[in-house]
Amino acid sequence: MKTKIGILVIGLVVLTGCDLLKEKPEGFIAPANFYKTQGDAIAAVNAVYDVVSSQGVYNNCMWWVTDMSTDDVMAGIGVNNLSILQIDQYTHGPLNNRLDLLWQTTFDGINRANQVIDRVPGISMDVTLQNRILGEAKFLRALFYFNLVRLFGDVPLLTTETASLADDLKVSRTPAASVYTQIIQDLTEAEQALPATMTSDDLGRATQGAAKALLAKVHLTMKNWSLAAAKAKEVIDNAGAYNYGLWTNYSDAFLTVNKYGKESVFSAQFASGIQEGSLMMAYTIPRNTIIGTGYSSFVPTTDILNSYEPGDDRKVATYFSTFSKAGKTITFSPAIYKYFDPAAVNTLDASNNYPIIRYADVLLMYAEAQNELGQTADAYTYVNQIRTRAKLPPLANLSQTDFRDALMNERRWELCFEGHRWFDLVRTGTLVSTLRAKGNANIQDFHVLYPVPQRDIDVNPNLNPQNNGY
């Protein structure tokens, strides 16, 4: 039997999977009996990373709310989930099951991070590793909260582990400004605790550069232009120490052999055979007789396909319409190539990571912040690094407004299908006008936030008031 018991049911269970709603959880380990050794500390923070790559976050739900909801993507014929179609068409409401799963799973991740932050300091272990683990947990908590506050606005701010279901059922939403204050604090502490790089088995964990890059994005979202520029420049100035840089070719950034390479700042990690093929099946090739049975859930819109400047190398690297293997060739409508793993025997073999922050994003963030500060001359240097790689002529002699518009186009072409477009349109105040101009008759002004899941409000009325419009 399963039961819905509120926004959080995680604190009484350590290291569980996504199914947190059992009345008598299997595999119960009391926290007091678990946090004893250095190995326990590592396992605990690994469980936080597990949420990043889970179905409720970057292995499903975040894709729908940040890409499917934009002018870059439309639902493919393989999509039959009503909640996903509602997000695509802007008819979603508080009963949407994708939003519900995202909310629940993200708070799961937050509570796992809280457990690490609360309990790892009490373990007798290597101090350097202990501090690193705490930095990782704070980075991940900040990432989770950054997603929540941008998607839902005011959300419950919980910075200690769940201790009592009775207490947690009463939690109220915290003003977004206070949530941002905590995010900034977490990332500031994380960047001090995290190393410049990770090696061998630790590749993919949060690093100092990742914390600085995410903090730059937080400040960019808050329109703290000076702080955003300064933090992004710290990443750029330390690119050598962080092993960051741009690949010579745009397509190189998405090769599976490069998924921990110089352009990866932080990604959701996946491995062949254990990601349920979701990333490759959803974003790329449709059902076929060569590579498994892809869903092609995300179909690029005609608008984005027609938006590229002539000669932009990114277009060729991002889309494809034919594929050949073992003497067979299939042809299809333009599909997304960025996450296609040609070495896969079937869709379950895809091993692509999902990029959350790439180095190219840092360059574009810095250019945007500098332009907003009136330093357009400096901004050209960094945006033109992106354009040069794309085989496009450099930007020059633009007004601040024209540069702003050009920069948004660069972000669209460079970062498409990486979960940035909806956030970019919202933070620049152009979501509604852009989608209306492109024919979306359903979108309303209130759609700059998603609704708090109704099932959680029903259990906990303190989550009221619901976001406007829902």
Report the predicted TM-score, pTM, of the whole model to 2 decimal places.
0.92
Who contacts 138 (Cβ-Cβ below 8 Å, separation ≥6)? 113, 117, 186, 187, 189, 190, 193
Who contacts 33 (Cβ-Cβ below 8 Å, separation ≥6)? none
Domains of the chain: which residue ranges? 1-194+429-464, 278-352
d(CA 319, CA 382): 25
d(CA 177, CA 218): 12
Identify the sign of the CA torsion 450, 355, 141, 232: negative
DSSP state of 309: P
Q: What pLDDT was estimated at residue 323?
A: 84
CB-neighbour burial class of residue 207 (10 A; exposed 0-12, middle 13-18, buried 19+): buried
Who contacts 273 (Cβ-Cβ below 8 Å, separation ≥6)? 348, 349
Identify the sign of the CA torsion 441, 446, 452, 458: negative
Enumerate the β-bridge partners of residue 357.
Answer: 266
Residue in this structure with the two tokens 């977004």, named with its chain if needed: 176
pLDDT along the chain (470 residues), means of 10: 28 35 41 84 96 92 95 88 95 97 96 96 97 98 98 97 67 97 98 96 96 98 98 98 98 94 94 59 67 76 98 96 84 87 69 93 98 94 98 97 97 97 98 97 98 94 96
Q: What pLDDT was estimated at residue 25?
A: 37
H runs (alpha helix) in 244-375? 278-283, 302-305, 313-318, 359-372
Q: What pLDDT was estimated at residue 324?
A: 84
CB-neighbour burial class of residue 281 (10 A; exposed 0-12, middle 13-18, buried 19+): buried
Instruction: Record the tokens describing residue 295, joined without a space.
Output: 């869903």
Q: What pLDDT was estimated at residue 23?
A: 33
Q: What pLDDT was estimated at residue 9?
A: 31
Enumerate the β-bridge partners of residue 183.
Answer: none
Does the domain at 1-194+429-464 match CATH 1.25.40.390? Answer given as yes
For helices 127-152 and 97-119, give the axis angle rounded to 10 degrees. Answer: 150
Who contacts 58 (Cβ-Cβ below 8 Å, separation ≥6)? 52, 268, 354, 356, 419
d(CA 263, CA 368): 19
HEC string of 127-155 equals HHHHHHHHHHHHHHHHHHHHHHHHHHCCE
CB-neighbour burial class of residue 251 (10 A; exposed 0-12, middle 13-18, buried 19+): middle
Q: What pLDDT was estimated at residue 31?
A: 64
Task: Give the DSSP letter string of 270-281.
Answer: --TTTSTTHHHH
